[in-house]
Amino acid sequence: MSDLTVIVLAAGGGTRMKSKTPKVLHRIGGRSMIGHVLAAVGALEPARVVTVIGHQRELVGPHVSELRPEAVLAVQDEQLGTGHAVRVALDALADAPREGTVLVAYGDTPLLEGATLRAFTEAHRAAGAAVSILSGIVPEPFGYGRIVRDGDGVVQAIVEEKDASDAERAITEINSGILAFDAAFLLDAVGRIGNDNAKGEYYLTDAVGLAREAGLVVTAHPVDDALQTEGANDRAQLADLGRELNRRIVTRWMREGVSVMDPATTWIDADVVLAPDVTILPGTQLLGATVVAEDAVVGPDTTLEDCEIGAGARVVRTHGQLAVIGAGASVGPFAYLRPGTQLGADGKIGTFVETKNAAIGEGAKVPHLSYVGDAEIGEGTNIGAGTIFANYDGVAKHRTTVGRQARTGSNNTFVAPVTIGDGASTGGGTVVRRNVPPGALAVSTSPQRNLEGWVVSRRAGTAQAAAAEAALAPAAGEQSENGRELGGDPAERAES
Ligand code: UD1
Ligand code: CA
């Protein structure tokens, strides 16, 4: 919509949030409230977006600029009313629009959708209206501006709660706050709006009366889905809208072919992308820019933020952030994937495994109880249970490289920087401090020594010593009997 200017009002304080974070920066569905509004606005491809900022503009301004670098920021130092805010917005434009449409929206309506704004703007244009109101029919109109129509149903005015008569207060059609204006009319009207009212504010809604006095067309279009224009003023309302937003997102993905076993415990952020035939099990949160490919199964009890999950992968009881999991790979249960984790196709990050900045090759496996940090593991390699990639020497982080098709023993420590070659092996309990050449077996543990009788002499009188004594010096009769039953000479049995 090339002749469309959108003004987003976000200068208000939001005191009921009781927060050091500005109201419009509170988040649901992985975006700030104003982020949702700007996304809906962006879907219209307007020529210009102006955001009016005031309270905590040092936080709101940069956030808006990050989301929409081309948006104009208009600073309203004092919040003198919505009419004043729009005047500030128009003043901030080098060339205020004299033609086309100006759409006004608020920064705190996170369920707003682009399609709704588009249909409303098109209806406004089709009616040839000077002002159009996106209205709503609500059971509890208290606090809203009421839409006053005459006997023929023609809109005459918007009357604010504090200025309304008893009869007007009974009206259930309210101003959602989203208004569309003919640009030329708005430019003229906004300078003529006064503040002679109960709140002493410049009401943008007074533009309706001005249009009617001039004999111009005003229309009101009741929105079907009133929640789209609902604002969140406190954290309870924010949570309600967050739950509803999530319900909508989850429903949309189910309609797109995603199986969700328990929608009530599944949370999917607005920017997540899922393929058909993904299955999501209960207690799963898919956050940020997470992408899940087809046939992958995620959950139960899994949180993935900004992760990429390959086709057919299985991710069970896992917490992941900025991790890429290959097709057919298997993760968890109880895995912690930290940023920079990359698992190749058909690979495995198993139970009680933590990974960070680690590229694990195709078909490679880290099945049990391990920490893999700052590492590269080649294709087809198996890392033994309980292996620690010791990446930190107390001062700096170092990398470990394990080649392809290596087999490392249980309970190893790889002291980085160190390289283990292709096809190498390490023995159980090895502490690898020096590079292991390809194909070599590395062992660092000294040969085992058995100090016979140590427990009986050094731990005399303990239950342990008693058990040792019983095993070593059984009653003569019993021993021969046992010996016979088990088939002869105890020495022979020990060898077998
Ligand atoms: C406004 C409307 C009312 C409508 C209601 C819907 C007016 C006069 N009234 O009332 O008809 O039913 O919204 O929620 O427009 N803002 C600024 N600068 C200001 C004043 C407000 O940026 O000087 C922003 C606020 O941050 C907020 C929005 O505009 O996002 C609405 O302002 P608010 O004061 O809450 O208006 P209401 O009294 O609720
Ligand atoms: Ca309000």
Instruction: Write the pLDDT tens digit of every residue in 211-222.
Output: 999 999 999 999
Which ligand minimizes its atom distance to the CA of 200? Answer: 1
User: In what helix (H) or strand (E) does residue 6 lie, and over which residues does it extend?
Assistant: strand 4-10
Which residues face 282 on adjacent strands?
A: none
**Closest to 229 (Cα-Cα) out of 137, 345, 337, 367:** 137
336 annotated binding-site participant: no
Q: Could you tell which of 15, 25, 106, 138 is best to mutate to test the pocket of ligand 1, judged by most ligand atoms within 8 Å of the CB?
A: 106
pLDDT single digits (tens) 236-260: 999 999 999 999 999 999 999 999 9
**Residue 195 Cα to ligand 1 middle (Å):** 14
Query: Of 442, 457, 474, at which residue does a domain stop?
Result: 442
Whether 56 lines ligand 1, by a CB cut-off of 6 Å, is no
Closest atom of ligand 1 relative to the 12 alpha carbon = 26
Whether 175 lines ligand 1, by a CB cut-off of 6 Å, is yes
Which residues face 397 on adjacent strands?
A: 392
- Average pLDDT score, the chain: 95
In a domain, 374, yes or no: yes
**Residue 81 Cα to ligand 1 middle (Å):** 7
Residue 492 has pLDDT above 60, yes or no: no
Question: Under 8 Å CB-to-CB from 326, ≥6 apart: which residues?
Answer: 310, 313, 342, 343, 344, 345, 346, 347, 362
Name the closest-CA residue to atom 32, ligand 1: 82
Statement to judge: residues 90 and 217 lie in one domain: yes
106 annotated binding-site participant: yes
Statement to judge: residues 207 and 288 lie in one domain: no
Q: At what angle do helices 57-67 and 33-42 cross, to 10 degrees?
A: 40
| Integer Cα distance of 410 and 387 in angstroms | 6
Q: What is the rounded average pLDDT of the residues 103-111?
A: 98
In a domain, 234, yes or no: no
Q: What is the rounded average pLDDT of the residues 119-135?
A: 98
Statement to judge: residues 222 and 278 lie in one domain: no
Q: How far is CA 496 from CA 412, 479, 484, 486, 490, in A?
A: 29, 19, 16, 12, 10
Residue 389 has pLDDT above 90, yes or no: yes
**Residue 326 Cα to ligand 2 middle (Å):** 47
Statement to judge: residues 214 and 287 lie in one domain: no
Q: What is the rounded average pLDDT of the residues 338-363?
A: 98
HSE of 313, CA atoms in CB hemisphere, 13 A = 32
358 annotated binding-site participant: no
Statement to judge: residues 319 and 188 lie in one domain: no
Whether 245 lines ligand 1, by a CB cut-off of 6 Å, is no
| Integer Cα distance of 232 and 356 in angstroms | 38
Statement to judge: residues 203 and 265 lie in one domain: no
pLDDT single digits (tens) 11-21: 998 999 999 99
In a domain, 244, yes or no: no
Whether 145 lines ligand 1, by a CB cut-off of 6 Å, is yes
Query: Of 419, 442, 465, at which residue does a domain stop?
Result: 442
CB contact at 8 A, 315 and 323: no
Q: What is the pLDDT of residue 477?
A: 56
Whether 85 lines ligand 1, by a CB cut-off of 6 Å, is yes
Statement to judge: residues 108 and 216 lie in one domain: yes
Q: Could you tell which of 37, 82, 206, 227 is best to mutate to test the pocket of ligand 1, judged by most ligand atoms within 8 Å of the CB?
A: 82
Pick the catalytic residue from 36, 55, 84, 368. Answer: 368
Whether 284 lines ligand 1, by a CB cut-off of 6 Å, is no
- The predicted model scores a pTM of 0.92
Residue 142 has pLDDT above 50, yes or no: yes
| CA 444 to chain CA centroid, nearest Å | 45
Q: What is the CATH number of the domain that holds 404?
A: 2.160.10.10
In a domain, 282, yes or no: yes
**Residue 88 Cα to ligand 1 middle (Å):** 15
Closest atom of ligand 1 relative to the 53 alpha carbon = 22
Which ligand minimizes its atom distance to the CA of 37? Answer: 1
| Integer Cα distance of 131 and 188 in angstroms | 13
Query: Of 415, 442, 469, at which residue does a domain stop?
Result: 442
In a domain, 466, yes or no: no
pLDDT single digits (tens) 414-440: 999 999 999 999 999 999 999 999 999
Characterize the bridge pairing of strands 330-331 and 348-360: parallel
Closest atom of ligand 1 relative to the 202 alpha carbon = 8
Which ligand minimizes its atom distance to the CA of 82? Answer: 1
**Residue 319 Cα to ligand 1 middle (Å):** 41
In a domain, 237, yes or no: no
Whether 106 lines ligand 1, by a CB cut-off of 6 Å, is yes
CB contact at 8 A, 197 and 160: yes
Q: Is 368 a catalytic residue?
A: yes
Residue 261 has pLDDT above 80, yes or no: yes
Q: What is the pLDDT of residue 1?
A: 85
Statement to judge: residues 263 and 411 lie in one domain: yes
Q: What is the CATH number of the domain that holds 131?
A: 3.90.550.10
Q: Is 349 helix (H, G, I), strand (E, B) or coil?
A: strand
Q: How far is CA 433 from CA 64, 301, 400, 416, in A?
A: 50, 38, 10, 7
**Residue 326 Cα to ligand 1 middle (Å):** 49
Q: What is the pLDDT of residue 156?
A: 96
The Cα diameter of the chain in Å comes to: 120
Which ligand minimizes its atom distance to the CA of 106? Answer: 1
Whether 331 lines ligand 1, by a CB cut-off of 6 Å, is no
Residue 412 has pLDDT above 50, yes or no: yes
Which domain does 311 fall in, by range? 257-442
DSSP assignment string, 166-195 = HHHHT--EEEEEEEEEEHHHHHHHTTT---
Statement to judge: residues 308 and 404 lie in one domain: yes
In a domain, 487, yes or no: no
Whether 173 lines ligand 1, by a CB cut-off of 6 Å, is no
Statement to judge: residues 208 and 352 lie in one domain: no
Statement to judge: residues 271 and 225 lie in one domain: no
Structure tokens at 159: 């009357």
Q: What percent of the chain is modeled with pLDDT above 70? A: 95
Confidence at 474, pLDDT banded by 50, 70, 90: low
**Residue 230 Cα to ligand 1 middle (Å):** 12
Whether 403 lines ligand 1, by a CB cut-off of 6 Å, is no
Q: How many domains does the chain have?
A: 2
Statement to judge: residues 216 and 282 lie in one domain: no
Q: Is 431 helix (H, G, I), strand (E, B) or coil?
A: strand
In a domain, 447, yes or no: no
